[in-house]
Amino acid sequence: DGTEPHEFEPKASDMMRVKDSKVFIYNGMGMERWAPEMLKSMKDGPVAVVASKGIDPIRLTDKDEIKEHGDFDPHVWLGPEEARKEAKNIADALAAASPENKEYFEKNYEKLDKDLTAMTEEYKKKLSTGHSKELVAGHAAFGYLCRDFGLTQASVEDAFASGEPSPAKLADIIDFCKKHNVKTIFTEDMISPALTETISKEAGAKVETLDTIESGEQDANYVKTMKENLEKIDKGLALN
C-alpha cells in the first residue's frame, strides 16, 4: 500500500506469502515483470493466473518505454470491458484452486458481470453526445477506458510514469489542450500534481483527480470507484 505500483519489487517476505498461498493473481502485460521468474523458482507454488490473459492489448509506441517495460499498456483494469474479462479469469482460477466452491465463485462473477455491463452502457450513452472526446491525463493510465468509451487519450507521462517529460512534450500537451478546448485535465493520487497544475494554468483548464485503483485503499469497491471516475469524466468532458 502507498507504493508506486510500477516501481514495486517483492521482498523475501512477500515471496514467502505467495509460496504459502493457494492462489496468486497478477495483472500481467509488464505490470509485474518480476512475477514469472518468481513463480518459476517455486516448486510447489500456488495456482497462478495472469488476470489480463486473452485481453486485446494496447501496444506502446515509445521505444525506450518498450525496451524497459515491454510492448503493452498494462492498465487493463481501468477499462470496464477488460475488467470483466479479468474477473472471469480470476473466477476460473479460484474455482480451479477450490473446486468445491465453483458455484459460489461463478455466482459472484455473474453479479459483477451484470453490474459492469449496466455501468458501461449507462456511461456509453452519457459520453456519446454533447461531450469532448479528448481526455487529457497526467499519466497514460486510461487507454483502455478511453477505448471502451470512444475517447482519445493524451498524457503528460507515459504508461509507466517513468522519467520527466521534456519541455517540448509539455508544450505539445498545452497546445493540444488549447486546440481541442480542453476544460479539464485529469490527474491521480499516486503521481505529483505539479505538472498537471502547470499545464492547467497554461491551458486555462481545471484539474480533477481520478482513482486508478492502485493505492490499496481499504474497503475500495471496484464498481463504486469506477462509477465515481466516470461521473467525473462525464462532467469534465461535457461541452458547455
Over residues 119-128, the pLDDT tens digits come to 999 999 999 9
Query: Given CA atoms 22, 84, 36, 15 in this order, what sign does their dihedral have?
Result: negative
Instruction: Please give the full DSSP string across the chain, using - where no structure is assigned.
Output: --S-GGG----HHHHHHHHTSSEEEE--TTTTTTHHHHHHT-TT--EEEETTTT--PPBP--HHHHHHH-SB---GGGSHHHHHHHHHHHHHHHHHH-GGGHHHHHHHHHHHHHHHHHHHHHHHHHHHSSB--EEEEEES--HHHHHHHT-EEEEEE-TT--SPPPHHHHHHHHHHHHHTT--EEEEETTS-SHHHHHHHHHHT-EEEEE--S-S--TT--HHHHHHHHHHHHHHHHB--
Q: Are residues 42 and 146 in the same domain?
A: no
Q: Are residues 55 and 141 in the same domain?
A: no
Q: Are residues 140 and 44 in the same domain?
A: no
Domain count, the chain: 2
**Per-residue pLDDT at 205:** 92
Q: Are residues 97 and 187 in the same domain?
A: no
On the question of pLDDT at 220 being above 80, the answer is no
Name, in order, each residue with C-beta under 8 angstroms of 31's C-beta and a sequence gap of 6 or more: 5, 6, 74
Q: Are residues 132 and 231 in the same domain?
A: yes
Q: CATH code at 159?
A: 3.40.50.1980
Range of the domain at 81: 12-120
Q: Are residues 74 and 133 in the same domain?
A: no
* 6, part of any domain: no
* 4, part of any domain: no
**What are the pLDDT digits (tens) for 6-52?**
778 899 999 999 999 999 999 999 999 899 999 999 888 899 999 99
Name the residue with higher pLDDT: 228 or 164: 228
On the question of pLDDT at 163 being above 70, the answer is no
Measure the CA–CA gap between 25 and 50, rounded to whole angstroms. Answer: 6
**Per-residue pLDDT at 216:** 63
* 3, part of any domain: no
Q: Are residues 169 and 224 in the same domain?
A: yes
On the question of pLDDT at 223 being above 90, the answer is yes
Q: Are residues 232 and 127 in the same domain?
A: yes
Please state the pTM of the whole predicted model. 0.91
* 196 burial type by CB count under 10 A (0-12 exposed, 13-18 middle, 19+ buried): buried
On the question of pLDDT at 88 being above 90, the answer is yes
* 137, part of any domain: yes
* 2, part of any domain: no
Domain boundary among 70, 94, 120: 120
Measure the CA–CA gap between 239 and 42, rounded to whole angstroms. Answer: 54
Domain boundary among 80, 95, 120: 120
Q: Are residues 108 and 209 in the same domain?
A: no
**Per-residue pLDDT at 3:** 72
**Per-residue pLDDT at 169:** 83
Q: Are residues 72 and 151 in the same domain?
A: no
Domain boundary among 98, 120, 142: 120
* 7, part of any domain: no
**Per-residue pLDDT at 193:** 74
Share of the chain above pLDDT 90, in %: 65
Q: Are residues 112 and 150 in the same domain?
A: no
Q: Are residues 136 and 99 in the same domain?
A: no
**Per-residue pLDDT at 158:** 78
Output the CA–CA distances (angstroms, integers) from residue 240 to 134, 152, 236, in the order listed: 15, 19, 10
Name, in order, each residue with C-beta under 8 angstroms of 160's C-beta and a sequence gap of 6 or more: 6, 30, 65, 68, 69
